[in-house]
Amino acid sequence: MEREMESLIDNKTWELVEPHTNQTLIDFKWVYKLKDSLGEDETRIFKARLVARAFTQEKSVDYNEVFSPVAKYATIRLVCALAVIFDLVMDQMDVITTDLYGYLEDVIYMRQPFDFEVKGKERLVYRLLKSLYGLKQAPRQWNTRFDEFMKAQRILQSVYDPSVYMKKVNDETFNLIILILYVNDMLILAKNQSDVDECKTQCLTDAVKKGNMSCVPYEQAVGSFMYLMVCTRPNIAFAMGKVSKYMSNLGKVQWEAVKWIMRYLKSTLDYDLLFDGLLDNAKSLFGYVDADYGQHLDKRRCTTGYVFTLGGENIS
């Protein structure tokens, strides 16, 4: 807790001010987590985070806009196809503590945490200058600051996907550096490793590893499958459509179906999307569509599906 407070103070997240009688004070809570060490030893790390209670925020008072764009998975698969067609270097980065980087546009006051009040100034409150974990507008403010930074570096934003940024370089075969932002993850593509390293140097971040999810209830399991389906496992789309219908009214049969999906995924861990830039039609975009013509047994509805391929693999 002391390290967390020192980090927030060093980041100049707030300033102490006199409380206003007509201003709502945002409450807070401490969130504790036991994390695995990133090293080879088996020691575990105790983490504490100061989190704002967002449910105490009032719309048009403590926040306005909260939408933050994220990259479409069709875009991610598209650039993967471009990477194999043009033999590009691809690298991934992870930005830590993204919620603390954004500058707040709204005036928000928060109480001082218990046992961490400044001596002699216990009656003062925090006026937040930067985003804090839990605030409704935190993801949007991070995205806004990242967008401003990219434009300051003369990296252009795509008009088709606002989470894609491009910068021109001098290369005869592929003259672009492509950067894709998905919340706090970045995907960087370029023809040369030096261009990728230069882009990474501009975006100073620390790489972190993420742990695997253990046993989860039905809703969380289906949500995890949804993430896999839209990323790298489109072959489970039909099964996902079935189990997703019972999120609030599930039974033993639905849970058994979810476990079957788990078993299938476990037995096919080596299945990947394979983009082949050497195919004769690698640069051709193909689209396929089909329907089952009213095969729904209860309502006689049709299920329509489509797929687009580039580089010999599915992108959408």
Q: What is the pLDDT of residues 104-161, one digit of tens each?
A: 888 888 888 888 888 888 888 888 888 888 888 888 888 888 888 888 878 888 888 8
Q: 182 and 71 in contact (C-beta within 8 Å)? A: yes
Q: 312 and 80 in contact (C-beta within 8 Å)? A: no
Entry pTM: 0.58
Q: Domains of the chain: which residue ranges? A: 2-57+108-132, 212-269, 273-316
Q: At a CB cut-off of 8 Å and minimum separation 6, what does 85 contact? A: 275, 277, 282, 283, 310, 311
Residue 228's SS3 state is: helix
Residue 218's nearest CA partner among 248, 263, 260 is: 248
In which element (H, E) is residue 305 found? strand 304-310
Helices 218-231 & 252-267, crossing angle to 10 degrees?
40
Q: What is the pLDDT of residues 264-281, one digit of tens each?
A: 988 988 888 888 888 888
Q: What is the pLDDT of residues 174-224, one digit of tens each?
A: 788 899 988 878 888 888 888 888 777 766 443 333 333 334 477 888 888
Helices 73-85 & 218-231, crossing angle to 10 degrees?
40
